[in-house]
A and B are shown apart, each in its own frame.
Chain A
Amino acid sequence: MALLEIRDLEKRFDGRSGHDAHWVIRGLSFTVKEGEFLTLIGPSGAGKTTLLNLIAQIDGASGGQVRFQSEIAPIGDPKALRPGLSCRIGYVTQEDNLLPWRTALENVLFPLEVQGRLDAEGRARADMLMRAAGLAGFEHHYPHELSGGMRKRAALIRTLVYDPPVILMDEPFGALDAQTRTQLQEDLLRLWNLGRKTILFVTHDIAEAIALGDRALVLSRAPTTIAGEHAITLPRPRDIRGIMTHPDFAALYQRIRAQLQ
C-alpha cells in the first residue's frame, strides 16, 4: 500500500534576471510503500535536497503532486505550505540543526514539547532512544560539547521521538569519517528495526544505498527525474561491515553505477 506518492513533481528556479530559469526537477514520479526503506541515489547537483524540501513542504513546488495516504499536500501555494505535514513527515537534514542553547536531552524533547506531548510516556521514550543511540550519560551536554557523530545521533532520535510515519533523511552521514559512518549506519538500522518506519534516504554513496535500503531509486542529473529503480534483495538484518562481500552486491553496484553516468 503506497504511503507516499510523488507524481510529476516539478521545481523551477527563476534566475536573477528572470530569463535564466532552469528546471531542477521535472517529471519526477515514484511511490513509497509503508514500512519501506527507500534509498535515493544521485550525483551532486541532482537536486536531492530540493526534492526532500519539496516533500517535506519546506519549499513550494512549481508543479506536480505529493500525496500522503491519499491526502494531497498543498505544495503549489507557498502560503499554504505545512512543513512536515502536521508532523507526519519527519526530516533529518544534512546539518544536524540542533538548537545550541538546549542540552542533548532537551533537543530530543523539543518536538514533544512543541506538539504538547511532553508527558511521562514521551519522556520515557526519549530516555529509551538516548540509550539506544549510545547517548546515555550525555543528556545534559550542550551540542558544542558533543562530537559530530553524537550530534548526528541526537538529531536522528529527535525525529524518531515523535514517531512520524515517514522520515526523510538527507545524506545524514555524509560529513563524517568512514568509521563513524559505518557505526551510525548500523545504529540507524537497529533503530529502524524497533518500529519499521517508512524511510526515504538520500545519498550519493552507492554502497550506502545498497547496504541500507529495500529499494534504490537512481536520480538523474538536473532536470532530475527517476533514472532507474532497483530492488535490493539482500537479506535482513544487514551486515553493514561485510555487505560488500555478499555475492549479489557487486552486480547490483555495477548496475546502479552504470545508470548514474
Chain B
Amino acid sequence: MNGSAPQEVSGRPPSGRLVATLRARADQITVLLVLVVAWQVLSVAFGTYWIGSPVGVLTRVMAGIASGDLLRHAGITLSEAVAGFLIGAVPAATLPFALRRYPVVSAILDPFMVGGYGAPKLALAPLFILWFGIGIASKIALVAITVFFIVYFSAQAGVRALDIKLVQMAQVVGANERHLARHIIFPGAVPYIFTGFRIALPYAIGGAVIAELISSNRGLGYLIQLGAMNFDTTGVFVALVATTCIVFLGNWSVNALERRLLRWRPPSDVRMQAGS
C-alpha cells in the first residue's frame, strides 16, 4: 500500500513534480530532526531515568557492539527467530503439496487448521516455558508454531491457485505427477509462500521477544526486562533499537530473496501481492 495511487499526482509538469519530491524529502528530513531534538529535550526534562537521551542511547549502542554484548544478545534472539521460522515454515510450506492429491484428508484437517490459525498461539508462551525451560528451546517452539499456521494457509492458497491450463499443457508434452509438482505447481505457489513469509516475519520476531520477556536470561527481550527493572531506560531503548533492526534485517532479507527468486513475475502481479 505504500506510494500514492496514480490519482494523487495531478497534471503537473515534470519539473513541478521533481520540485514536489525534493520538497517532500526535505520535509521528511526536517521531521526527523524535529523528532530527535524533541527526544533530547524530553530526556533532559524528565531525566535519563525516565527517558534515555539519544546521545546516551547511541553511546550505549556503540559500546554494546564494541564489547560484543549487544551482538551476542541480538544473535540469540535472531537465532531463536530464524530457527523457529525454519522449523515452522518448512513443514507448513510442504504439507499443502503433499495433501494436494488427498482432498478428503485436506478437508478433514481444514477446521483444525483454521482453529489453530485463529487460536492465540502466543498465549502458549508460559506452557512452552514450562515444557522446555527458559532457554532458547521454548522460544523456538513458540515461533515455530506461530509461523506454521500462517505459512500453511499461504502455501495452501498457492497450491489451490493452480492454473489448470498450465497443467494440461504440461501433461500434453508428457509430464508425469512428479514433473507437475516440481515444474508447475511448486513455482506457481512460491509467490504465495513468500507472502506468507512476509506476514509471518513480525510474528516470528515478536514471539521470540515475548517469550524472552516472560522468562529468559539471554536475548534482547531479556535486556529489555533487565533495563526496565533497573530503571535503565537507556538500556531498554538500546535493546528496542536492536530489535527493530532485526525486524528490518528480516524484512530486507525476505524481500531480497523474493526479488531474486521471483524475477519472472510481471509487474502488475507484484503490485497486487505486495499490498498484503
Contacts and interface: CB of A to CB of B under 8 A. Distances in A.
Contacts of A162: 173-174
Interface in B162-202: 165-166, 168-176, 179, 183-184, 187-188, 190
Nearest to B188: A101
A99 B171 contact: no
B16 interface: no
B266 A97 contact: no
B78 to A, nearest CB: 31
Contacts of B174: 84, 86-87, 111, 114-115, 162
Contacts of A111: 173-174
A143 B165 CA distance: 16
A100 interface: yes
B171 A58 contact: yes
A162 B173 CA distance: 8
A89 to B, nearest CB: 7
A190 interface: no
A56 interface: yes
Contacts of B176: 114
A84 B264 CA distance: 28
Interface size class of A (residues with CB under 8 A): 20 to 34
Contact of A100 (B169, B175, B265): B265
A83 interface: yes
Contact of B263 (A84, A89, A110, A142): A142
Contacts of B175: 114
Contacts of B171: 58, 83-84
A95 interface: yes
Nearest to B178: A114
Which of B264, B266, B267 has the largest count of A CB atoms less than 10 A from its CB? B264
A77 B267 CA distance: 42
B54 to A, nearest CB: 46
Interface residues of B, number: 23
Contacts, number: 68
Contacts of A37: none
B169 A97 contact: yes
A142 B168 contact: no
A99 B266 contact: no
A84 B266 CA distance: 30
Contacts of B168: 58, 83, 93, 97
A91 B172 CA distance: 7
A56 B172 contact: yes
Contacts of A89: 172
A143 B265 CA distance: 9
A90 interface: yes
Contacts of A102: 264
A117 B46 CA distance: 76
A36 to B, nearest CB: 21
Q: Chain A contact residues: over half helix, strand or loop, or mixed?
A: loop
A116 to B, nearest CB: 9
B169 to A, nearest CB: 4
Given A101-B187, A101-B264, A115 B166 contact: no
Interface string A113-136: 111000000000000000000000
Interface string B140-174: 00000000000000000000000001101111111
A83 B172 contact: yes
Which of B165, B169, B171, B175 has the largest count of A CB atoms less than 10 A from its CB? B169
Contacts of A144: 264-267
Contacts of A84: 171-174
Contacts of B172: 56, 58, 83-84, 87, 89-91
Interface in B83-121: none
Given A100-B264, A142-B263, A144-B266, A95 B165 contact: yes
A107 to B, nearest CB: 10
Contacts of B264: 100-103, 142-144
A97 B168 CA distance: 9
A91 B266 CA distance: 25
Given A87-B174, A142-B263, A114 B183 contact: yes
Contact of B169 (A93, A101, A142, A143): A93
Interface of B: 165-166, 168-176, 179, 183-184, 187-188, 190, 262-267
Interface of A: 56, 58, 83-84, 86-87, 89-91, 93, 95, 97, 99-103, 110-111, 113-115, 142-144, 158-159, 162
12 contacts: A58-B171, A58-B172, A84-B173, A87-B174, A93-B168, A95-B165, A99-B184, A99-B187, A101-B262, A114-B174, A115-B174, A162-B173
